[in-house]
Amino acid sequence: MGKVALITGITGQDGSYLSELLLSKGYEVHGVIRRSSWPNTGRIDKTFDPESKQYIHYGDLSDGIDDLLYSIQPDEVYNLAAMSHVKISFDVPIYTSEINAVGVCRILEGIRKLGLAKKTKFYQASSSEMFGITPPPQNENSVFNPVSPYGCAKLYSYHLTRSYRSGYGLFAANGILFNHESERRGVNFVTRKITRAACRIKLGLQDTLRLGNLDAKRDWGHSKDYMRAIYMILQHETPDDWVVSTGETHTVREFLESVFEYLEIPMEKHVIIDESFKRPNEVPALLGDSTKIQTVLGWKPEVSFKQLVKLMIDSDLKEVALELLK
Binding-site partner at residue 60 among ligand G4F, ligand NAP, none, CB < 5 to 8 Å by type: ligand NAP
Q: Name the active-site residue from 129, 148, 183, 231.
A: 129
Report how far residue 316's alpha carbon sits from residue 183's, in angstroms, rounded to the nearest whole number.
Answer: 7
- Interaction of residue 84 with ligand NAP, rule CB under 6 A: yes
Does residue 156 carry a catalytic annotation? no
Residue from 216, 229, 259, 293 that binds ligand G4F (CB under 6 A)? 216
DSSP 306-322: HHHHHHHHHHHHHHHHH
For 21-29, the CB contacts below 8 A with 24+ separation are 21/224, 21/227, 21/228, 21/231, 22/231, 23/47, 23/52, 23/53, 23/54, 25/231, 26/2, 27/2, 27/3, 27/53, 28/2, 28/3, 28/4, 28/53, 28/55, 29/5, 29/53, 29/54, 29/55
- Interaction of residue 247 with ligand G4F, rule CB under 6 A: no
Q: Which is nearer to ligand G4F, 84 or 315 (CB)?
A: 84
Q: Going residue by residue from 151 to 180, which x/- string records binding to ligand G4F, judged by CB under 6 A?
A: ---------------------------xx-
Active site residues: 127, 129, 150
In the complex, the residues that contact ligand G4F under the rule CB under 6 A are: 84, 86-87, 127-129, 178-179, 188-190, 193, 211-213, 216, 218, 252, 277, 279, 282, 286
In the complex, the residues that contact ligand NAP under the rule CB under 6 A are: 8-9, 11-15, 32, 34, 36, 40, 60-62, 80-84, 99, 125, 127, 177, 179-180, 186
